[in-house]
């Protein structure tokens, strides 16, 4: 019934128009242009259960151009999701609402991922090219991307900066391409395109849909002015007239409501059908089913953490990047959801799980992912995996300094509560000859400062295992592990349990919680602090050495615990870390000393740089003598 | 003379092999494979003057795959650059050498830009797609890119992650494509390709050169093992035998030396010829020549800073993004090197210079650049402009939070001393409804922590002008300007001069440098500090208000000056900033209070978020009463 479809599409358009108008803020243009494809997708094509937005086998819709989120809210509303009721639409962009200005998965069930900052989406951002290149390489036949080809960018016609051929580029990336010429009213064209896309199972498909931004607005359609601002009362009236929509704001006609209401029983039936299928599968393949279930449910297998290795000081020194690989390989057999890899640095980042092969087009059952040199795409893909199902534990790896290339994705991990594990090796000047472009300085501070992301810098084998324990358990908070290229000794006093506290004493010859001085180190510099303590103790000093492996975790401890590690009265404190001193005043106080590096690194053998930059035992001893 | 060319090419190969061997660290594979194209470029094609690496009209060579820098050092050495003598080659990757492990423009004259972290270069990193898309859009006919097609990535064959067609993709981006099938010995093929590329003047050209990585090494060529490690004595011997190279390490045969020696007189002649041409041009077009000269020399026109606007409190409140546009438009007519624009947000970032049109293919004389949604490429392009000539003052703009997408380029600005001006608007929760994906929290701290980049957060008209004065003068240090979306009043006491000090008193009713409390604010929160001070003063308190517009600049002031603003004895200090409190302990001390935001933002009208997050006058007053 085309007239009902038209009505439904106009309902979507006006829900968006009215919500933006009421908020006097938002983006009406995209929903007005994309309502037809939205309607076809949610009313005719997608399989979902509105009463269980987390049903494992649902089809997943991601609105890459997140600013157009009123399109998605309107669709969820019509489809019967409890998260978006009429009153929620009326609270668009207001404090505490379920309908924020960009879609946030952690606010609104039915939203799969947070997509605010993707700009023009898949068409011309670099990250998208990285991810789409991999999608082509992997032959992801279930992926269908709709490219809203409206020729308008924020600064005007896209021609001012964008004249490449999107079709050709995606063809070069190995995608199947379809062009829907009339996205405004060509429902059958849209339906046919989706059918064709579904029939191509060995390639992802890009459906370019030519639309008019702000379709239906007599004076603002096809112009920038309809992109990011309310239409205004006068133009809303004109649009109502133009599209034959005499209704009050937020009105959903009864027949449209009735038409969409079938999705509640249909969705329940779809899920029931799948559950029955799964039950049969479970009977036949108990072990495989258990594995799948643990991925779907996110319940970690009991006792998994016993697989983590522990170390004693007699065990030879090793780089924490190697100790990290030992953890990954210990966890691989016990965590069915562990999957990941590196951005073309697997042999430097030490991220291969040796019991598995490569995840490739013909071997999708394997778990080592080869991301290529695509850091940003890698982070985004890991976010997608993490948010697909709570039991997936994606990890990804590169040099720590290259977090600069994927920071956008990492911030999205933090914001959208995706428990990705970032395995970041070569974490300081300790990498040596590759020089300042490869040597992180400000990176530790920059992730400590970022909300809801854990920065962990383990010092040896036990601490690396402890960092993995924290990271695996943190399913709603991503973790960044900073790991060394160079060998580090296994220190007495380190422990998996200590790491969980963020900061803890690894050695102490004082009594009554009154050391003369507290030396604080992280990662590769904890060894230096310990060596300095040895010498200071020989000089009769009472010295405590504290490993400060994660600031965030320490902050979360009780005041009593914090006082037991860093007593307020002991102001003689020295920290050492091969990174910026920025932020360390909080820990060492105004009477303490922070030893670090507040300039860029250098190209030379690592030992030489440590010496020239004053990251030495001697510097710690001198500072300790100065403060106490 | 082909045998001499062969000899020269092998000289390049073995200089690289020997230097990597001596350092026992580095990347021999690329120089061995790319030596033929390197030879043709530096010996036959490029116009340069080795005794003046900064000659304005030189051809510019960028080694995108910076790890292969021994190729470039060997070429500079043969070409007669004083920066790379034999002893410099022998100091490859050592402390203080001119031949660091990745090329650094600030270390080695002859190196144009720092390229360490570009990975596989233009082929498959997202940033490269952004920049290459613009190069195609602009029709940059003078740009020739050589794509070293060696099929090897660090993790093995590129096939494991990279099966797209590079040729097709670049064709889609509007490039001319040539394929050199034998890059190992096909000198004539390379020459012909370059000639063809030069003849295509309306498009950039990609020359795909198929090479064998580690060419000449009998056992390691065409394998990953030759990429990033010394060959080892045995394989070096085998390679010497294989290529017929009986010489000692670092040997340059006399005939090769003699052949290359002509570049010194030829380069001098080229420059002299150009200088004569310029002198004639100068005579005929004095004004244009003066403009070009100021770009080439980097001498700012006398009195340029007088063009900056100043403000009094009577002037109505305005957003600092608008005040920024006033500065850009005031500076446009007096700074010939000022050029820039926004990543598709010109109308939000307020970056248009109204006296100019758009820089486009047919209007290269204009100065408003339309970067499209390509933040990372935008930053990289601005680095290139800044390093092209010292008189260029590139600026680029986006929302402050999107620095996450261009942080790699920004760090390169800082490291390579490129004085780019980053105009970053929408700098806090003050942007309101767009929500947490758009609201910076940790970004101020993250740039304060990054070396050699100035973070400036002006509070009003005078401070915005002051920030531009600092930024324009900082030609070897990039500046980040954090600017508000919302209106801010012009405060009494702010000044251009004050900004240059980084922190300064804007109001004070105390005497003898002994205020009861010091309130410290930045940007949009300075107004809140000032309002809180007003009330506290009414209650009889002696209150100083300090604008802390740039931490780095304040750090560089004399101890006396710092003591005059923040006396050590006054520990009652309260800071307020709509961003993370991370790092503020340094300023407020352990007895002070830092008011800020240590979680993600929210979608709601700005005023509501400020209130709910406690970024208010009331919070400052309460904190002040608590600390003093
Ligand atoms: Ca953090
Ligand atoms: Ca800085």
Cβ–Cβ below 8 Å for A154 and B414: no
Distance from C-alpha of A595 to C-alpha of A583, rounded to nearest angstrom: 12
Which residue does chain B place closest to A596, by CA atoms?
Answer: B449
Token readout for A30 is 């995209």
- Report, as an integer, the average pLDDT of B541-569: 98
Confidence category of residue A287, pLDDT binned at 50, 70, 90: very high
Confidence category of residue A122, pLDDT binned at 50, 70, 90: low
Sign for the CA dihedral angle at B579, B584, B590, B593 comes to: negative
Q: Kindly identify the ligand whose nearest atom is closest to the C-alpha of A450.
A: 1
Q: Kindly identify the ligand whose nearest atom is closest to the C-alpha of A449.
A: 1
Cβ–Cβ below 8 Å for B583 and A580: no
Cβ–Cβ below 8 Å for B449 and A377: no
Residues of chain A with Cβ-Cβ distance to B164 below 8 Å are 133, 136-137, 172-174
B503 Cα to chain A: minimum distance (Å): 18
Question: What is the percentage of chain A residues whose pLDDT exceeds 70?
Answer: 97
What is the three-class DSSP state of A415? helix
Cα–ligand 2 centroid distance for B454 (angstroms):
5
What global pTM score does this model have? 0.96
Higher pLDDT, A127 or B468: B468
Which residue does chain B place closest to A586, by CA atoms?
Answer: B585
Q: Is A535 a catalytic residue?
A: no
Shortest CB distance from A404 goes to which of B373, B408, B604?
A: B408
Which residue does chain B place closest to A373, by CA atoms?
Answer: B125
Distance from C-alpha of A369 to C-alpha of A371, rounded to nearest angstrom: 6
B298 Cα to chain A: minimum distance (Å): 25
Cα–ligand 2 centroid distance for B417 (angstroms):
13
Asked if pLDDT for residue A123 goes beyond 70, the answer is no
Q: Ligand 1 being an ion, which residues bring their Cβ within 5 A of it?
A: A 450, 453
Distance from C-alpha of B335 to C-alpha of B394, rounded to nearest angstrom: 11
Cα–ligand 2 centroid distance for B457 (angstroms):
12
Cα–ligand 1 centroid distance for B19 (angstroms):
42
The CB density around residue B626, as the number of other CB atoms within 10 Å, is: 12
Q: What is the pLDDT of residues A42-100, one digit of tens each?
A: 999 999 999 999 999 999 999 999 999 999 999 999 999 999 999 999 999 999 999 99
Task: Say if residues A399 and A372 touch (Cβ distance below 8 Å).
Answer: no
Cα–ligand 2 centroid distance for B581 (angstroms):
16
Q: Which residues, listed in sequence order, are joined to residue A518 by a DSSP beta bridge?
A: A544, A573
Question: What is the percentage of chain A residues whose pLDDT exceeds 90?
Answer: 91
Q: Phi first, then psi: give them for residue A45, nearest 5 degrees.
A: -110, -45
Shortest CB distance from B608 goes to which of A95, A128, A134?
A: A95
Distance from C-alpha of A414 to C-alpha of A383, rounded to nearest angstrom: 10
Asked if pLDDT for residue A150 goes beyond 90, the answer is no
Task: Say if residues A111 and A102 touch (Cβ distance below 8 Å).
Answer: no
Cα–ligand 1 centroid distance for A477 (angstroms):
10
Residues of chain B with Cβ-Cβ distance to A164 below 8 Å are 133, 136-137, 172-174
Q: What is the pLDDT of residues A401-421, one digit of tens each?
A: 999 999 999 999 999 999 999
Task: Say if residues A604 and B25 touch (Cβ distance below 8 Å).
Answer: no
Question: What is the percentage of chain B residues whose pLDDT exceeds 90?
Answer: 91
Q: Is A410 exposed, middle or buried (0-12, 13-18, 19+ CB in 10 A)?
A: buried
Residues of chain B with Cβ-Cβ distance to A407 below 8 Å are 404-405, 407
Cβ–Cβ below 8 Å for A433 and B162: no
- Report, as an integer, the average pLDDT of B470-494: 98
Q: What angle do CA B57, B63, B67 make, to 5 degrees?
A: 150
H or E element in which residue B175 lies: none
Distance from C-alpha of B113 to C-alpha of B384, rounded to nearest angstrom: 7
Cβ–Cβ below 8 Å for A585 and B580: no
Distance from C-alpha of A275 to C-alpha of A279, rounded to nearest angstrom: 6
Q: Which residues, listed in sequence order, are joined to residue B318 by a DSSP beta bridge?
A: B488
Cα–ligand 1 centroid distance for A414 (angstroms):
9
**Alpha helix (H) ranges present in B262-345?**
263-284, 286-297, 320-331
Residues of chain A with Cβ-Cβ distance to B442 below 8 Å are 446, 449-451
Q: Which residues, listed in sequence order, are joined to residue B423 by a DSSP beta bridge?
A: B397, B481
Q: Kindly identify the ligand whose nearest atom is closest to the C-alpha of A455.
A: 1
B439 Cα to chain A: minimum distance (Å): 10
Comparing CA positions, the residue from B158, B613, B277 lying closest to residue A451 is B613
Which residue does chain A place closest to B410, by CA atoms?
Answer: A404
Give the model's pLDDT for residue A165: 78
* Mean pLDDT estimate for chain A: 95
- Report, as an integer, the average pLDDT of A350-361: 97
A281 Cα to chain B: minimum distance (Å): 33
Shortest CB distance from A590 goes to which of B120, B441, B589?
A: B589
Which residue does chain A place closest to B369, by CA atoms?
Answer: A161
Residues of chain A with Cβ-Cβ distance to B445 below 8 Å are 445-446, 449, 582-583
Q: Looking at A235, A271, A375, A417, which residue is catalytic?
A: A375
Cβ–Cβ below 8 Å for B433 and A117: no
Asked if pLDDT for residue A151 goes beyond 90, the answer is no
Q: Phi first, then psi: give them for residue B392, nearest 5 degrees.
A: -75, 135
Give the model's pLDDT for residue A373: 85
Q: Is B347 exposed, middle or buried (0-12, 13-18, 19+ CB in 10 A)?
A: middle
Shortest CB distance from B174 goes to which of A94, A164, A414?
A: A164
Distance from C-alpha of A201 to C-alpha of A144, rounded to nearest angstrom: 10
Residues of chain B with Cβ-Cβ distance to A371 below 8 Å are 161
Q: Phi first, then psi: give them for residue B246, nearest 5 degrees.
A: -80, 0
**Which active-site residues of B does the annotation give?**
375
Q: What is the pLDDT of residues B240-269, one digit of tens each?
A: 999 999 999 999 999 999 999 999 999 999
Token readout for B536 is 């506290």
Which residue does chain A place closest to B359, by CA atoms?
Answer: A160
Higher pLDDT, A228 or A252: A252
Give the model's pLDDT for residue A441: 98
Residues of chain A with Cβ-Cβ distance to B607 below 8 Å are none
What is the three-class DSSP state of B467? helix
Give the model's pLDDT for residue A344: 87
Which residue does chain B place closest to A155, by CA atoms?
Answer: B344
Helices and strands, counts by H and E, chain B:
24, 19
Cβ–Cβ below 8 Å for B126 and A603: no
Shortest CB distance from B126 goes to which of A165, A370, A377?
A: A377
The answer to which of A101-105, A162-166, B341-345 has the lowest mean pLDDT is A162-166
Give the model's pLDDT for residue B122: 62
Give the long-range contacts of residues A214-220, CB within 8 A, separation 24 or more.
A214/A28, A214/A29, A214/A32, A214/A33, A215/A13, A215/A32, A215/A33, A215/A35, A215/A184, A216/A10, A216/A13, A216/A32, A216/A242, A216/A243, A217/A32, A217/A242, A218/A242
Cα–ligand 2 centroid distance for B611 (angstroms):
30
Cα–ligand 2 centroid distance for A444 (angstroms):
14
Cβ–Cβ below 8 Å for B93 and A603: yes
Asked if pLDDT for residue A549 goes beyond 90, the answer is yes
Q: What is the pLDDT of residues B415-464, one digit of tens each?
A: 999 999 999 999 999 999 999 999 999 999 999 999 999 999 999 999 99
Token readout for B83 is 């920066």
Confidence category of residue B381, pLDDT binned at 50, 70, 90: very high
Cβ–Cβ below 8 Å for A404 and B415: no
- Report, as an integer, the average pLDDT of A550-562: 98
H or E element in which residue A455 lies: strand A454-456
Q: What angle do CA B101, B102, B103 make, to 5 degrees?
A: 125
Give the model's pLDDT for residue B151: 80
What is the three-class DSSP state of B215? coil
Which residue does chain B place closest to A120, by CA atoms?
Answer: B373
- Compute the residue count for chain B: 628
Confidence category of residue B36, pLDDT binned at 50, 70, 90: very high
Q: What is the pLDDT of residues A459-498, one digit of tens each?
A: 999 999 999 999 999 999 999 999 999 999 999 999 999 9
Q: Which residues, listed in sequence order, are joined to residue A454 by a DSSP beta bridge?
A: A479
Residues of chain B with Cβ-Cβ distance to A162 below 8 Å are 133, 137, 372
Residues of chain A with Cβ-Cβ distance to B25 below 8 Å are 432-433, 605
* Mean pLDDT estimate for chain B: 95
Distance from C-alpha of A398 to C-alpha of A425, rounded to nearest angstrom: 7
H or E element in which residue A298 lies: none
Token readout for B509 is 């009713």
Higher pLDDT, B490 or B225: B490
Give the model's pLDDT for residue B130: 84
Confidence category of residue A118, pLDDT binned at 50, 70, 90: low
DSSP line for B55-123 = -TT------SSGGGHHHHHHHHHHHT-TTS-HHHHHTTT-TT-SS-SS--TTTSTT--S--GGGTTTTT
- Report, as an integer, the average pLDDT of A554-578: 98
Cα–ligand 1 centroid distance for A456 (angstroms):
9
- Report, as an integer, the average pLDDT of A262-283: 98
Q: CA-CA distances (angstroms) from residue A36 to A41, A69, A150, A205, B561? A: 9, 15, 14, 19, 65
Comparing CA positions, the residue from A357, A321, A263 lying closest to residue A481 is A321
Give the model's pLDDT for residue B298: 95
Confidence category of residue A163, pLDDT binned at 50, 70, 90: low
Give the model's pLDDT for residue A167: 85
Give the long-range contacts of residues B296-303, CB within 8 A, separation 24 or more.
B296/B56, B296/B389, B296/B390, B296/B391, B297/B390, B297/B391, B298/B389, B298/B390, B298/B391, B298/B475, B299/B391, B300/B335, B300/B391, B300/B472, B300/B473, B301/B334, B301/B335, B301/B336
Confidence category of residue B129, pLDDT binned at 50, 70, 90: confident
Q: What angle do CA B117, B118, B120 make, to 5 degrees?
A: 125
Comparing CA positions, the residue from A329, A317, A619 lying closest to residue A484 is A317
Asked if pLDDT for residue B123 goes beyond 70, the answer is no
Helix, strand, coil % in chain B, rounded to nearest 5: 45, 10, 40
Give the model's pLDDT for residue B241: 98
- Report, as an integer, the average pLDDT of B457-479: 98
A519 Cα to chain B: minimum distance (Å): 19
């Amino acid at each position: 019934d085309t007239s009902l479809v038209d009505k439904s599409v106009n309902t979507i358009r006006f829900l968006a128009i009215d919500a933006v108008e009421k908020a006097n803020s938002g983006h009406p243009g995209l929903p007005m242009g994309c309502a037809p494809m939205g309607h076809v997708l949610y009313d005719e094509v997608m399989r979902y259960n509105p009463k269980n937005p987390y049903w494992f086998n649902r089809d997943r819709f991601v609105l890459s151009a997140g600013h157009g989120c009123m399109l998605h809210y309107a669709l969820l509303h019509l489809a019967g999701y409890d998260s978006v009721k009429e009153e929620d639409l009326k609270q668009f962009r207001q404090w505490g609402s379920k309908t924020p200005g960009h879609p946030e998965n952690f606010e609104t069930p039915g939203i799969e991922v947070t997509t605010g900052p993707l700009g023009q989406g898949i068409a011309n951002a670099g990250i998208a090219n990285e991810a789409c290149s991999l999608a082509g390489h992997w032959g992801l036949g279930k992926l269908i991307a709709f490219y809203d080809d409206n020729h308008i960018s924020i600064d005007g016609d896209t021609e001012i900066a964008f004249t490449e051929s999107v079709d050709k580029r995606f063809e070069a990336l190995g995608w199947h391409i379809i062009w829907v010429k009339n996205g405004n009213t060509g429902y059958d064209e849209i339906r046919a395109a989706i059918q064709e896309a579904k029939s191509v199972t060995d390639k992802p498909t890009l459906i370019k849909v030519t639309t008019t931004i702000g379709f239906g607005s007599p004076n603002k359609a096809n112009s920038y002015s309809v992109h990011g601002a309310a239409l205004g009362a006068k133009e809303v009236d004109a649009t109502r007239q133009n599209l034959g929509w005499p209704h009050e704001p937020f009105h959903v006609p009864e027949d449209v409501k009735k038409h969409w209401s079938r999705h509640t029983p249909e969705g329940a039936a779809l899920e029931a059908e799948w559950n029955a299928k799964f039950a049969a599968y479970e009977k036949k393949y108990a072990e495989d089913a258990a594995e799948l279930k643990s991925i779907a449910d996110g319940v970690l297998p009991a006792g998994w953490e016993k697989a983590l290795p522990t170390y004693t000081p007699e065990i030879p020194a090793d780089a924490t990047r190697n100790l990290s690989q030992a953890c990954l390989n210990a966890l691989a057999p016990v965590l069915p959801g562990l999957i990941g890899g590196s951005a073309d640095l697997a042999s430097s980042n030490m991220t291969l799980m040796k019991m598995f092969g490569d995840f490739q087009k013909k071997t999708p059952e394997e778990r080592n992912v080869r991301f290529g040199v695509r850091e940003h795409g890698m982070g985004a893909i890991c976010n997608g995996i993490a948010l697909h199902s709570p039991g997936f534990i994606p990890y990804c790896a590169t040099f720590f300094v290259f977090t600069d290339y994927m920071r956008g994705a990492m911030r999205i991990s933090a914001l959208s509560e995706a428990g990705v594990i970032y395995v970041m090796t070569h974490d300081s000047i300790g990498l040596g000859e590759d020089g300042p472009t490869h040597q992180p300085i400000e990176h530790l501070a920059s992730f400590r400062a970022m909300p809801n992301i854990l920065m962990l810098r383990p010092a040896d084998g036990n601490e690396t295992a402890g960092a993995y324990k924290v990271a695996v358990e943190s399913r709603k908070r991503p973790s960044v592990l900073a790991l060394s290229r160079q060998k580090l000794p296994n220190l007495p006093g380190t422990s998996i349990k200590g790491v969980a506290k963020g900061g803890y004493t690894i050695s102490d010859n004082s009594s009554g919680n009154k050391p003369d001085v507290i030396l604080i180190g992280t990662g590769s510099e904890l060894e230096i602090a310990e060596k300095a303590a040895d010498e200071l103790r020989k000089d009769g000093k009472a010295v405590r050495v504290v490993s400060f492996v994660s600031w965030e975790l320490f902050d979360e401890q009780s005041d009593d615990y914090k006082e037991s590690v860093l007593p307020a009265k002991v102001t003689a404190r020295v920290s050492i870390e091969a990174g910026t001193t920025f932020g360390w005043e909080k820990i060492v106080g105004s009477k303490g000393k922070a030893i670090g590096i507040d300039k860029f690194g250098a190209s030379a053998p690592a030992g030489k740089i440590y010496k020239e930059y004053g990251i030495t035992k001697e510097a710690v001893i001198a500072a300790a003598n100065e403060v106490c």
